[in-house]
Structure 1
Amino acid sequence: MFDVLVVDDDFMVAEIHRRFVDRTPDFATVGVARTGAQALEAVATLSPDLVLLDVHLPDMSGLDVMRRLRADRNPVEIIMITAARELDTVTEALHGGAADYLIKPFEFPQLQAKLTAFKERSLTLQSHAGVDQSLVDSLFGSAGQRQAQQRLPKGLSPETGTLVLDAVRSKAELSAAECAELVGISRVSARRYLEHYLETGALEIRLQYGGAGRPERRYRAT
C-alpha cells in the first residue's frame, strides 16, 4: 500500500483528489494539506510515499515546497498536480525531481494512470538488486521513445499521446475501445494513437481470437 499526501488549497478539489486516490488499488490518502507549511509538516510527521502537490498555495509555491524537501534530503516522491501550464513551471518541476506532472482539470482515469505508473516504477526499483540498460530505459524512457513522442503524425497531440500511453501502462493490456473510454476520446482517435505507438515500438500487440469476424487487437507496453 502506498501512502499519499494530498496538497491543495481548494477544499473541494483536495477532497476530489483524495477520493480519486482512495479509489485506486494499492493507494490510500493519509493526509490533506492546504498550505505549503502544512505540507512540510505533514511530510515530516506522516512520512508518505507520495505527495500530490499543487503549485499555487497561499503561503508559498509547491515548487518551493519541493525545493525545501530536497534541500532536507527527503526522498518522498512528488507528482505535481496543477493548473499551471507555463513552460518554466514544468521545467522547474522536472529539474526539481518531480516524478510526474498532471494538469488540471482532469478525470479519474488520468490520475489513476499516473498513480499506476508510479507504482510500477517503485516496484521495479524494489525488485532489482542491480541495473542494466533495459531497466534504465524502462524507468527513464528511452531516447527513441521520446523522439517518437515528439514526431507524432499530423492531427495527433503530444498531450493526448501521453494520456494514451499512461492508459496502456496502467493495464496489462487493452483494446482501442477500452483505451478510448479511459482517456475520454473517440475509439477512432484512440486507434490512431495506439497504431502509431505500435509502429514506433513503444507498444506491442496481441490478437485475441473469439467468435466470427476479425480478431480483437489488444495493446500493451513493451
Structure 2
Amino acid sequence: MREVLVVDDDFMVADIHRRFVDRIDGFRTVEVAHTGAAALDAARTLHPDLILLDVYLPDMTGLQVLQQLRGEGDTVGVIMITAARELDTVTGALDGGAADYLIKPFEFDQLRTKLAAFAARADALGAAVGIDQTFVDSLFGHSPATGEPPPMPKGLGAETAQLVLEAVREAGELSAAECADRVGISRVSARRYLEYFLTAGVLGLRLQYGAGRPERRYHTV
C-alpha cells in the first residue's frame, strides 16, 4: 500500500483529493496538510511514498516545498497539483524532480491514471536488475519502437501477461471479470495485468456507464 500526503490550502479541495486517493487501489492518504510548513513536517515525520502538492500555499509555494525536500535529500515522489498554467511553474516542477503535473480541476480518472503511472514506474525500478533502452524509455513515458510493454512490475508474470493480452485481442474488448474468466485467474489479478498494459500504452480504456459505478472495459489500440 502506497501512502500519500495531500497538500492543498483549500480545505474542501484537499478533502476531495483525499477521497479520490482513498478510492484508488493500492493507495491511501496518511495526512492532509494546508500549508507548506505542515507539508514539510508531515513529509519528515511520516515519510510518504507520494505527495500531491499544490503550488499555491499561504506561507510558501509548492515549488519551494519541493526544492526544500530535495535539498534535504528526500526523494519522495511528488505530483504537482495546481490551477497554474504558467510555463515557468511547469518548468520549475520538472526541474525540481516532480514525477508528474495535474491542472485542477481534474476528474477522478485523471488522477487514477497518474497514480497508476507512478506505481508502474516505481515497480519497474524496484524490479529492474539491469538497464537497457527499452527500460529507460518506459520510465520516461516513451513507447518502445517494438511495441512491447515495459518490464513487468513485481508480482506479474510474463506468461500470464501474454495470456491476458491474447484474451483481449481475441475478444476485442473485455472487462477485468470477463478477462479473469477467460484466462482462469482472479478478477483482481486480471485487473492488475490490464492496468499494467493500459499504463504501457498497449491497451486502451472505455468506461461503460450504467447503474452504479462505470465498468472499465479494456480494448486493443
Q: TM-score, normalised by structure 2?
A: 0.68
Per the alignment, residue 99 of structure 1 pairs with 99
3-state DSSP class of the match of 2:219? strand
Give 1:6-25 correspondences, 5 Å limit: 6-25=6-25
Letter paired with 1:169:
T
Query: Which position in structure 2 is the counterpart of 1:173?
Result: 203
Q: Unpaired runs of 5+ in structure 1? A: 146-166, 182-215
CA distance in 2, matches of 1:111, 1:16: 12
2:55 paired residue number: 55
Cross-structure match for 1:31: 31
TM-score, reference length from structure 1: 0.68
Once the two structures are TM-superposed, the CA of residue 130 in structure 1 deviates from its matched residue by: 1.7
Give the letter aligned to residue 219 of structure 1: T
% of aligned pairs identical? Answer: 58
**Partner AA of 2:9 in structure 1:** D
Whole-angstrom distance in 2 between the partners of 1:49 and 1:218: 31
The whole-number CA distance in structure 1 between the counterparts of 2:201 and 2:135 is 19
User: 2:203 is paired with a residue of what secondary structure?
Assistant: coil
User: Would you say how many aligned residue pairs link Structure 1 and Structure 2?
Assistant: 164
Q: Which amino acid aligns with 1:57?
A: L
Moved over 6 A (4+): none
1:58-103 CA distance string (max 9 Å, x none) = 0000000000000001010100010000001001101110000000
Cα RMSD of the aligned pairs, angstroms, is 2.7
Gaps of 5+ in 2: 146-196, 210-216
- Give the deviation of 1:57 after TM superposition: 0.1
Corresponding position of 2:139:
139
Structure 2 vs 1, CA of residues 179 and 144 (structure 1 numbering), >3 Å: closer, same or farther? farther
Q: Is the 8 A contact 2:203 2:218 kept in 1?
A: no
